[in-house]
Chains A and B, each alone.
Chain A
Amino acid sequence: MPADARQQHRSLEQQRNKLSEQLQEQIQTPEHYEEGSELDNTKAVRMQMHSGNEAIQDLLDQLDSIDSALADLELDGNEEDLEEEVELEVEHGASIKGGTDDGVDDDDDPWAQEFFYGGDDDPILIKRKRKMRKRVTQIIDSKETMSDKIFNAPPPPLIEDILPSPEQGIRTGDARYIAPETALKDLSDLIGHSLKPEELQHRQEADDPIRLPVEIGKFLESQSSNELVASWGVILGSPDPSLLTPQGGFSTAAGRLSTLSVCSEAMQGPPNEIDPAVQLSLHRNAWEHCRDVAKTLAQQGALHAPKIALMALKQASLPTTNTPLPKPNVLGGLALEQILPPEMAFLPPSLFIPPEEEVEEEDLLAQFDMILSEFTGKDPFAPPAAPIVSQETIQPALQSTNHLLNALGRTQVEMATASVAVYRVNSQAPILSVLEHCDDVLRKIARKTIHAGKTLERSLHHPFFSKKIILEQAVIDLANCHQSMLALKRWALMTLASGLSVNTNEDDA
């Protein structure tokens, strides 16, 4: 370590020691208040600085920044070159047929396959390797914020000795809305964290006491038809600074957010309908998980919703029912829609019909045409050639066919994702029967789509007018297949969500 760095190191250590002393002092002797003296608002605000977390927080923040600077100093010079294989995407001169144009790369759509030739021309992406320089630095987990580390430093208070935890009691009234409580299980997540916006933005975990109510707010704001619920959803989803007032500490701020979440749910509707739907909307990681499973299964040619769900949940079997399925849950369906990625782009199927060859009606020009035909060796009296079905004619329809087949594959993964989310909320929900029905119907739609695609391909090089009706029917069939897929998806999501009400009624006392 060079001399100036050593000096900087010493100076930082001195600052750290000084701040540690100040911190101890602050903890031992907070601002003194004389009993009975007048406390106006201004004074109260001033004193809040010393009674909330802020005073300690400020000192701890300073301490932490010094720690970081020290760590950086120590790491300085440890920079080394590492060879890292980086995949470069390079356009290839040749072209590939089929594929999707929704911007999703190959890694994201394991179901993407080329079925029919004649789709759009996408550049081939070649993976190459290169060397890059990489600095070795300490990796800080995104969940661990500056203040997390700080507040882990003092010895944990022995709260359990003073207030032991009971067994969960019978839920009545608003206590039946349990989704907001998911984030209030771990005590260490609730004590003394920072409420600074720059640190709150890093709170991304699904069960985080700040992030979870924000997500509930966003969901209810977007899906509720009740304006008061939407209004509370907006306040939560932002979240409004009034809820994050530092006075009262982190625990009270988390409490304010959870309180408003419970109220929003209660205003929206009864707990047995609303709360499971809200819980579903929070399972955003189910998609990524199922997509990864689907990648494995796609290689084995077994991209079926029940298999994906089974593998994703690591279960030997999935719950099913012989009784009729319950009434579809609309809000639950919307919640499941929210955890799925946006709908794939789909071009309405069509045919490219070249304009008909015109017969010249003006005598003089017609005679010129005849002379030209004679000179070029053609029969001047022959009628215009009948149009032939070319690759260009069926290309738009084949492109739609490819898109549809890819979308059908993705729908299998989406159904599995929805069922995984449902299972996580209620492991008794009968998901298998819905998944099997979806699988059956999706296969039928796929068969019909392939049939339409083959019809299109078989018509190649035939006179257009002899195949016109067949081609038009194929185009209609493709459009119908797309509609059927969308309808099935809507039904399946609402029906899967309805399964949440199975065997949960005993809680609604």
Chain B
Amino acid sequence: MNIQTARSWIASGKRTEALNWLMSQPETPDVLLLKAVCIEVDKGINWQKAILALSQHPASKDLLLALGQGISHARKDLHTSLQEKYLLQIITVATTLGETVQRIHWIAILGNFYLRQGQPDKAMMWLQQSVQLSIIHQHHLVTIAQGTILSGLWFGKGEINRVSALSLSIEEAAIQRHNWIALATARNTRSSCLLIRQKEAEAIQILMDTGDFLYTKGAVAALNLIKARLGEIHLLLGQERTRNIIQQLQQAT
């Protein structure tokens, strides 16, 4: 009987047998990790012990697993300082191990964590990093989700150029994933940027083009978002002015 056997027992569902053996073993990092997996009570504390022991050794996948579990339990226990500490550590570990997808995920989670903690300045750096990495590594889902959060933040700060550029990346990712809701939202955002610059015709044009595209896809809900923004523009600019712009656009095409 050795630690590998215990691992295979756990993998095949024989947790009680594995735990009985583990309880009789000295508390090495491996044993503490497997104990944390098996023991159902005080799981948070058991994961903390495992993380502490594994952290004394070079970065490993076991440490990555333990930190992930530690973060989850810290979140559920509302232990924010521990959650932050583990998030910072797991990003370092994922970077060392070259686990790109995990790294992007944990950076995104840390950015969102700071945002919810009411620290938008601290959040900004991580949010930007998560979006940049996701664009580089073509992790479209993260580009869309984190990009949407970031563009909202930037929009609130008046960073129109950045919002516009980011919306383009979101649009590209949304098309790849057939996420028509995201596409409509990003186009609405870009249209609003144009409206702020008083490029009213372009703002309406982009909505009309997206509307036509979504019509061909039969994306009813996403099309409704575009129509709703057009409706708001009607209210903002006045019906006559909007109608004139639309007529001019239609004549030009």
Contact = CB atoms under 8 A, between A and B. Distances in A.
Contacts of B217: 169, 175
Interface in B169-221: 177-182, 184-185, 188-189, 192, 195-198, 208, 211-212, 215-221
Q: Which of A154, A170, A227 has the most chain B CB within a 10 Å cutoff?
A: A227
Interface in A148-191: 151, 154-157, 159-160, 162-170, 172-175, 180-181, 184-185, 187, 190-191
Given A168-B218, A240-B116, A252-B188, A184 B155 contact: no
B18 interface: no
Interface string B213-236: 001111111111111111110111
Nearest to A60: B235
Contacts of B115: 235, 240, 242
A252 B141 contact: no
A413 interface: no
A48 interface: yes
Contacts of B198: 32-33, 35
Interface stretch (B24-32, B37-45, B58-66, B104-112): B104-112
Contacts of B195: 51
A252 B231 contact: no
Interface residues of A, number: 77
A242 B109 CA distance: 15
Contact count band on B: 35 or more
Contacts of B106: 227
A202 to B, nearest CB: 20
B65 to A, nearest CB: 12
B246 interface: yes
Q: Which of B144, B155, B226, B246 has the most chain A CB within a 10 Å cutoff?
A: B155
B181 A234 contact: no
B179 A173 contact: yes
A231 interface: yes
Given A41-B160, A42-B158, A242 B192 contact: no
Interface stretch (A243-251, A382-390, A434-442): A243-251
Q: Which of B198, B216, B226 has the most chain A CB within a 10 Å cutoff?
A: B198
Contacts, number: 239
A30 B236 contact: yes
A258 B185 contact: yes
Contact of B223 (A28, A35, A163, A235): A163
A159 B231 contact: yes
Interface string A208-248: 00000000000000000101101110110010111111011
Given A184-B221, A245-B155, A251-B229, A228 B239 contact: no
Nearest to A32: B198
Contacts of A28: 238, 241
Interface stretch (B1-9, B67-75, B92-100): B67-75
Contacts of B71: 227
Given A30-B236, A39-B197, A235-B112, A175 B230 contact: no
A260 B145 contact: yes
A242 B177 contact: no
Given A39-B160, A163-B227, A248 B188 contact: yes
A371 interface: no
B159 interface: yes
B113 interface: yes
B237 interface: yes
Contacts of A155: 239
B153 interface: yes
A90 interface: no
B46 interface: no
A256 B231 contact: no
Nearest to A28: B238
Interface stretch (A136-144, A262-270, A274-282, A298-306): A262-270
B235 A192 contact: yes
A263 B145 contact: yes
B105 A227 contact: yes
B192 A259 contact: no
A160 B189 CA distance: 21
A248 B192 contact: yes
Contact of A166 (B142, B182, B215, B239): B215
A190 B150 CA distance: 22
B149 A187 contact: no
A328 interface: no
A229 to B, nearest CB: 10
A32 B185 CA distance: 26
Contacts of A42: 158
14 contacts: A33-B198, A44-B158, A51-B192, A155-B239, A163-B212, A163-B226, A181-B220, A184-B222, A232-B145, A234-B112, A242-B152, A242-B156, A247-B196, A263-B144
Interface of B: 68, 71-72, 75, 105-106, 108-109, 112-113, 115-116, 120, 141-142, 144-145, 148-150, 152-153, 155-160, 177-182, 184-185, 188-189, 192, 195-198, 208, 211-212, 215-232, 234-239, 241-242, 246
Interface of A: 27-28, 30, 32-33, 35, 39, 41-42, 44-45, 47-48, 51-53, 56, 151, 154-157, 159-160, 162-170, 172-175, 180-181, 184-185, 187, 190-192, 225, 227-228, 230-232, 234-235, 238, 240-245, 247-252, 254-256, 258-260, 262-264, 266-267
Instruction: Rank and list the top 10 A-B pairs by shortest CB-CB distance, nearest first.
Output: A169-B218, A173-B178, A255-B185, A33-B198, A45-B158, A251-B228, A190-B228, A157-B234, A242-B152, A181-B221
Given A245-B152, A252-B185, 12 more contacts: A42-B158, A157-B231, A162-B208, A162-B246, A163-B211, A172-B178, A185-B221, A228-B105, A231-B108, A241-B156, A242-B115, A260-B148
